[in-house]
């Protein structure tokens, strides 16, 4: 089962902006890059550093702790293939951006 959780209004997350959100105990950072909203876990897969304040150059985010670069479009790391921040699905609905959160199945 999945849930849709509002995290930002369309007016709040305009192109060029980013927003840190906390959903179900998880830290998520959303980026609006040229009108395309991308949501990732706010944790560098290399060492867990926060990515929210990383330098963004186009679609490439640089980790502020160690300088690793992540292409947010392709969810790839040019310097170390295989490392990628976890992405979450974002949708726009009724003037808000919502995260689609997959809930684990019911225990048997």
Residue found under tokens 């160690």? 66
Q: ∠ CA 61-93-14 to the nearest 5 degrees?
A: 40
Predicted TM-score (pTM) of the model is 0.86
At residue 7, the pLDDT reads: 95
CATH class in words for 16-86: mainly beta
Report, as an integer, the average pLDDT of 91-95.
Answer: 95
For the stretch 14-36, pLDDT in tens is 999 999 999 989 999 999 999 99
pLDDT band at 107 (very low <50, low <70, confident <90, very high): low
pLDDT band at 9 (very low <50, low <70, confident <90, very high): very high
For the chain, the domains span 16-86
- Beta bridge partners of residue 101, listed in sequence order: 3
């Amino acid at each position: 089962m999945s849930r849709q959780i509002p995290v930002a209004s369309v007016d709040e997350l305009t192109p060029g902006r980013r927003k840190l959100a906390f959903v179900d105990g998880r830290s998520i950072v959303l980026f609006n890059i040229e009108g395309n909203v991308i949501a990732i876990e706010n944790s560098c897969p290399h060492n867990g550093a926060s990515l929210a304040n990383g330098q963004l150059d186009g679609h490439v985010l640089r980790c502020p702790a160690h300088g690793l670069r992540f292409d947010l479009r392709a969810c790839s790391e040019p310097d170390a293939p295989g490392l990628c921040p976890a992405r979450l699905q974002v949708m726009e609905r009724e003037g808000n951006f919502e995260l689609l959160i997959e809930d684990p199945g019911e225990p048997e």
